[in-house]
Amino acid sequence: MNKKEKRISSRQLRSSYITTVISISLVLFVIGLVGLLILNAHKISQHVKENIELTIFLNDDVKEVEMIRFENILKTSDFVRQTAFVSKDSAARELTQEIGEDFVSFLGYNPLSPSIEVKLKADYANIDSIAKIEKKLSKYSLVKEVSYQKSLIETINQNVKRISIILLVFCGLLFIISLSLINNTIRLSVYARRFLIKTMELVGATRSFVRAPFIIKSLCHALYSIIIAYILLGGVIYMINEHVQELEIMCELDTIAILYAGIMVVGFLIVWISNFFAVNRYLRMKGNELYA
């Protein structure tokens, strides 16, 4: 092989290495994103459920002391995560801003009632639990009405279950596709060196000896790919925490550690298995079959 051919072959191999690293990086990045969703699915579900609100409307003639006592009772209840008292005047100001008209001046009086907005704990954010809570709260004499969006709560709970199932199915399909993509990429890389594999075998090298440098090289590529996937995922996690601070994904170091460890295991395992079988394929071939 002359110098020109060696340069061309060297460029082809470099291009093959770069393509392999980029392909594996992107696949591991996508796997990492799905893993991030699955590991944080419970937290995301809780975050959505804990933003469901009950509005407890109070009687107009209730004294301030009674309202404070009632709110304190609510705060100590098992089902309450957070409460906020809304006076008649505050409710009127909010409604005036929403409709763009001063309805109090028009009517000559404020028809709204004081209320307490209650955010529930995630475990109680379902129709059955809320119905029991409504029945319990209605027994208090100062409570006029308990209001909540039943259809919205049903939709949220149904969607949370549906999304969880879809995520699991999608993760399984993605893993199979990832295996196929990485395997094909590595096969192409090994194909470019098939003559070298056959030459090593012809001079007496054992199969394990022939496989060793390819597997070591591919594990190095896997390491580069894993580092790139880590950087990309780190950027995504940073952006999520910047824009959705309530989830506090970055604070869960154990979740991030599990995710990164999983990516490393998957990256090394897939690359090792793909290289092992790809090299074996050309070791089993006859010399004339290499030109096919």
Distance CA 186, CA 192 (A): 10
* 10: pLDDT strictly greater than 60: no
pLDDT band at 122 (very low <50, low <70, confident <90, very high): confident
56, pLDDT greater than 80: yes
Domain 53-147: give its CATH code.
3.30.70.3040
* Amino acid in position 16: S
Q: Which residue type, as a one-letter code, is found at position 22?
A: I
- 114 vs 92: CA distance, rounded Å: 10
Instruction: Indicate the pLDDT class of residue 158, thresholds 50, 70 and 90.
Output: confident
Number of helices (H), then strands (E), in the chain: 10, 4
How large is the average pLDDT for residues 109-123? 83
- Cα separation of 80 and 257, whole Å? 32
CB atoms within 10 A of CB 211: 19
Higher pLDDT, 37 or 136: 136
Q: Where are the domains of the chain?
A: 3-45+156-291, 53-147
In the block, tokens 């000896």 appear at: 209
Mean pLDDT, residues 157-162: 73
Amino acid letter at 184?
Answer: N
* Per-residue pLDDT, 111: 75
Q: Which residue has the higher pLDDT, 22 or 4?
A: 22
User: Which position has the higher pLDDT, 25 or 163?
Assistant: 25
Question: What pLDDT, on the 0 to 100 scale, is given for residue 231?
Answer: 92
Question: How is 81-103 classified by DSSP, letter by letter?
Answer: EEEEEE-HHHHHHHHHHHHTS-H
Least confident span in 64-78, 101-115, 134-148, 195-209 = 195-209
Cα–Cα distance, 233 to 174 (Å, whole number): 17
When pLDDT is cut at 50, 70 and 90, the band that residue 8 belongs to is very low
Decide: helix, strand or coil at residue 81: strand
Give Cβ neighbours of residue 84 (< 8 Å, ≥ 6 apart): 116, 117
Mean pLDDT of the chain, nearest integer: 76
What single letter denotes the amino acid at residue 288?
Answer: N
Both tokens of residue 46? 């809780």
Kindly state the helix (H) or strand (E) to which residue 284 belongs, with its residue range: helix 253-284
Q: What average pLDDT does this structure show over 187-215? A: 70
Q: Which residue has the higher pLDDT, 28 or 245?
A: 28
Which residue, 210, 69, 199, 91, is CA-closest to 142? 69
Of the candidate ranges 136-140, 243-247, 267-271, the one whose mean pLDDT is the lowest: 243-247
Distances, alpha carbon 281 to alpha carbons 57, 127, 186, 205, 274, in Å: 74, 59, 12, 16, 11
pLDDT at 51: 80
Span 167-191, pLDDT tens digits: 778 767 766 776 676 666 666 666 6
**Residue 289 CB partners (closer than 8 Å, separation 6+):** none
